[in-house]
Amino acid sequence: MKLFWTPASPFTRKVSVAAREIGLWDEIEIIQTTWPLSWGFETVPFTPGLAENNPVARIPTLVTDAGHALGCSTLACQHLDRLSGGKLTGPEPDRMWSLYAIADGLIEAQILMRAEHLRPSEYRMESFLQKQRDRIERCFDAIELRAEELQTSGDTNSPNLAEITVGIAASYQDWRDWLGNFRHGRPALTRWYENFRLRPSMCATEPAETPEA
């Protein structure tokens, strides 16, 4: 498999962490992508091969061994899940996907804020940023109320995709200084995350800025 990748993207990190947790990371060839900072508001030159494989021209894009490009992190993780016999889904798919959808929507709000910050300041809307902050707060609150579903932490069991996505959302919140501290008023999530973030799959995928060229 091939993965169009960058270390800054939490959507891409989902694929990286999931593949490591189920032992498929070594099957994936990583293609580092570059992104001029203007990606947030204009068409930019794409890393060779990206738009040819996936006309959405977005990361992550996972190209399967059969050559099918999956240009969406959920679909890419589901492909890995099928290869692993369902390790990422676990015994209660609907419950797991419902928590996953919250964490994934949270990450989308984080990335929408990132793109808004990249706009020239005169085109930036504070109310748009606030809309995303409100969404992020609601999502973290909902995750706190469902913290009993976060069961895999620093131990050797394999986490499901909801746990992986919650962990990555929390980590991104810590990484970007324009995002607030998710810990206030959320003791159960905080306790779980302090162990989850120490997993080898998380330590090996700490975010870093994407090369601009």
In whole angstroms, the minimum distance from the beta carbon of 154 to a copy of itself comes to 27
3-class SS of residue 93? helix
Q: Is residue 2 a contact residue for a copy of itself (CB under 8 A)?
A: no
- 95 lies in the site for a copy of itself, by CB under 8 A: yes
Binding mask 113-132 for a copy of itself (x = CB under 8 A): ------x---xxx-xx-xx-
Residue whose token pair is 């990335």: 111
Residue entry with tokens 């570059």: 34
DSSP label at 153? S
Residue window 34-73: x/- pattern of binding to a copy of itself, with contact defined by CB under 8 A: -------xxx-------x--xxxxx-----x-x-xxxxx-
> In a 3-state reduction of DSSP, which class is residue 208?
coil
Dig out the tokens for 29 from the structure: 């060839």
Say which amino acid occupies 166: V
Structure tokens belonging to residue 176:
């970007």
Q: Is-contact 202 14, C-beta < 8 A?
A: no
Under 8 Å between Cβ of 107 and 165: yes
Q: Residue holding tokens 């964490």? A: 103
Of 104, 162, 168, 173, the one binding a copy of itself (CB under 8 A) is 104
Minimum Å gap between C-beta 55 and a copy of itself is: 4
Interface ranges with a copy of itself (CB under 8 A): 41-43, 51, 54-58, 64, 66, 68-72, 74-75, 78-79, 82, 93-95, 97-98, 100-102, 104-106, 108-109, 119, 123-125, 127-128, 130-131, 134-135, 138-139, 141-142
